[in-house]
Structure 1
Amino acid sequence: MLINETDPVNGNPWGIKFMTMFHMSNDSHLFHTWDELEADGWTLNGNVFEQTVIAHENREARFERMLPLYEAKMIHQFDHRWATYEPAESIRDVTLAEKQDPTFVPLPRYWVREEVVRHRLGDRWGEEWILGWRNICRSTDERTTIGSRFPAAAVGQSLPLILTRGHAPLLQAIISSFVFDFVARQKLGGINMTFGYFSQFAAPLPSLQAPWLTEAVEWFERRSLHLQSPASWRVPSRDVVRGELDAACFHIYGLGREEVEYVMDTFPIVKRKDEAAYGTYRTKDLILSAYDAMAEAKSSGRTYQPPWPQEVSA
């Protein structure tokens, strides 16, 4: 499991701390809207509002920022630009063209002063990216565990945070895998994925060993970071890279091929969407193809070779 509370010495190998940063009702007095900030003379730069304030007492200039407030509906697996708010507070999905644009950033519904966010994060403020997951879920949804890394900013309670000592891209790859999702579905007893539930989910150690992969931790993190980048939306191999990560997770969790097939068949919505779009359960096919290639590499003592140009996952 991610955290074993019965072992105070070695029970938290990831160095995880869970956190809820802002509550949408209790902390609403800290939130500012687009209209309020524009009326007060703030300037939008990307998705951050900025302003230079002149102090009355000494006339010194002070630069201030308002950071975006991320909500669960704005993120998805390997995607911190899943949805964006319009100035009129309506939310919409981000288009493929926007995902491919490295300058595009999602807009939130609210903004929070940077110093308030800095205070809430405390000694974790120095991290450029943070990891969180959607706390509302159902085992009957397309996916249950939906988490992503996103730039350090304000975060609402619908998006609990997993603060780690390191290897957040690796942890993101693990919690986004079908095998981790399958485990979560067996544990959940409601629609709220609480800290208590999440800490009990089975996960490998951050120093995971996979001899058939070259530098296994780095192998996972390169692909996790690639999937988070706009470049991954401009190449046809994005689904193949995800299938490769899932296949590696199935191997690390110790599942045989028939067990992999069984797990994948427990995600009927993924299957139905694939069959409607491609005429086959493409996600499962890609995972099994990578799983078989890794199994062959393991049995022959070779290193697994990806089926696409190396620069895609570099």
Structure 2
Amino acid sequence: MHSFPLLGEKIADRWNLSLRQELNMTSDSHLFKQQSGEGRRPLYEGKMIHQFTHQHAEPRYWVDEDEARKAALGRNEDVGQELDYQEYRIALRAVGENTNSRNFIASVIPRNTFCGHSLLVSRITKRQYSFLIYACTLLNSFVLDYAIKMKIARNVSIFQIYQLPVPRLQEGDRYFSEIVDRAAKLICTTPEFDDLAAEVGLRPSSPQPPSPKAGKGGEDAPAPLAQLGRGVGGEGIYGVTDEAERAKLRAELDGMIAHLYGLTEAEFQHILSTFPIVPAETKQAALEVYRTFTPTVGDQEILALIAQGESAQLEFKSTARWNLKDGKKDRTMEEVILKTVAAFLNAEGGTLLIGVEDDGNVLGLQPDYQTLQKKNRDGFELWLMNDLLLKELGKELAPFISVSFHIIDHKEVCRVCLGRAPQPVYINIRNPKSGQLEECLFIRSGNLTSKLDTPRAIANYTKTRWG
């Protein structure tokens, strides 16, 4: 854990985080209004946020934007320059008694809001929302919460936060996109966060009904989102509001972050045990996810398949989208996958392993991930099933295709299992000479995928195979 750079350390070409206070509740009290109105912005206080939500309580005060800008600029002229309050930023409770269920309580707050001094606020030096969400998630993790609770008695100081070791992951690093995707679903629950959600690749979805178990966990537990109604901003379409689903996402985040810090199961179990007020089921869920994500030397079933080598019912493909030779995305790679899958469906079924070279060397899926909007297994599966196989081969074949992911030597491999199709599966291939699309039938011939070239060959095969 201590091998990572401290949060206060400035690192070139990486995101950096700096914390500060905005408005003082005493010396700036003349700016506070007790009612909302035209030109007034909400004043966020510590009790208004909880982990991954800005709707823990309603605002007590509002601030006139023009007056607050003057206070923020001091003697500097206001020429319409963008100030911090106009952007998304992390808000972290500055009061964190070690008798609370959690010490670190952070969320991303909407644009065009101000904060009182019971919140520490920050933007990220690299103005990319994925880094903002990632940093917020680390601050809310059991791992960093444990690290800070060893240092504080009551208030959380900026100096103490800066002493925490934090992995500065970038896009493409293991766990980064998975963490950002899950945390964004927790944060982006109102329309103010639509821009944030869209930038990190969330897809709109219908709001979920509240869980009947929502709201349990004590006075300091997060308030159910539905309980607050539309809150400050209203109902969103990107995030997750169902409490059971939110709990699942949070458990997954804590499990992944424990792995990110290289903790053993015993170490993570000890950290969880130091939070006696947190419900046992919450801690158990995080531990179970940790076990699910535990890297192994290799999935034994997949290792056994690779050891067999390619055959009539087993094929290896290095990539599905990325041309390793040319170093770029290549549509012909997708066509190869289509031919292979169709051939298995037209034969006796079989297994396709993507991310494995012909000689059995495990390459992993990272080359393909970099070509996707969602650079992870979720994005890959969505593209492979919906945008390629079912789109090109037909949705009726869905029962005969299954996709799973496995870890070999810390690299992800995709297994596509194919059954016997109930009717011939044709694919449209463009003739390189005529430029016209031709309907083609592919089959397995030994450990190769072969195209049947003549109408007679196709008729004979289909009669033998399907009768």
Q: TM-score, normalised by structure 1?
A: 0.69
Provide the residue aligned with 1:31 in structure 2: 32
* SS in structure 1 at match of 2:95: coil
1:249 is matched with which residue: 248, 257, 262?
A: 257
| Among 132, 155, 158, the residue aligned to 2:91 | 132
Specify whether residues 257 and 299 from structure 1 end up closer, same or farther in structure 2 by C-alpha distance, changes over 3 A only.
farther
Of 265, 271, 275, the residue aligned with 1:267 is 275
Distance 1:208 1:250, change over 3 A: farther
Judged with a 3 Å threshold, the aligned counterparts in structure 2 of structure 1 residues 251 and 127 are, in CA distance, closer, same or farther, namely: farther
Q: Give the conservation status (yes or no) of the 8 Å contact 1:3–1:11.
A: no
Distance 1:263 1:178, change over 3 A: same
Q: Of 80, 94, 118, which aligns to 2:54?
A: 80
Does residue 1:68 correspond to 2:42, yes or no? yes
**Identical aligned pairs, as a percentage?**
28
Q: 2:141 aligns with which of 177, 198, 218?
A: 177
Deviation readout 1:181-239 (Å, 9 max, x if unpaired):
00111222x3111111111112111328754xxxx322211111101233422363211
- The separation in 2 between residues aligned to 1:159 and 1:68, in whole angstroms, is 14
Distance 1:183 1:235, change over 3 A: closer
Alpha-carbon distance in structure 2 between the residues aligned to 1:181 and 1:141: 11
Query: Radius of gyration: which is bigger?
Result: 2
TM-score (norm 2): 0.47
Of 99, 114, 135 in structure 2, the residue corresponding to residue 154 of structure 1 is 114
Larger RCO (alpha carbons 8 Å, 6+ apart): 1
Counterparts of 2:64 and 2:296, CA distance in 1: 51
- 8 Å Cα contact 1:77/1:147 also seen in 2: yes
Alignment partners' CA distance in 2, 1:297 and 1:66: 54
Q: Note if 1:112 corresponds to 2:63.
A: yes
SS at match of 1:269: coil
Please state how far the C-alpha of 1:12 moved relative to its aligned partner.
9.6
RMSD: 2.7
In the alignment, does 2:178 pair up with 1:204?
no
C-alpha contact 1:183 1:202 (8 A) present in aligned 2:
no
C-alpha distance in 2 between matches for 1:305 and 1:156: 40
Alignment-derived partner of residue 218 in structure 2: none
CA, structure 1 residues 77+254, in 2 after alignment: closer, same or farther (shift >3 Å)? same
Cα 1:296–1:252 shift into 2, 3 Å: closer
Name the SS for the 1:148 alignment partner. strand
Look up the match of 2:246.
238
Contact 2:88–2:123 under 8 Å retained in 1? no
1:232-277 CA distance string (max 9 Å, x none) = 223632111100000011001110001111110110001xxx3xxx
Closer/same/farther in 2, CA of residues 284 and 163 from structure 1, 3 Å limit? same
| Counterparts of 1:126 and 1:23, CA distance in 2 | 15
Q: In structure 2, the residue corresponding to 1:115 is in which secondary structure? A: helix
Aligned length: 240
Consecutive unaligned residues of structure 1, counting only runs of 5 or more, are: 35-43, 51-64, 85-107, 275-280
Distance 1:236 1:297, change over 3 A: farther
What 5-or-longer segments of structure 2 have no aligned partner? Answer: 1-5, 74-80, 190-206, 208-239, 300-361, 366-375, 383-467
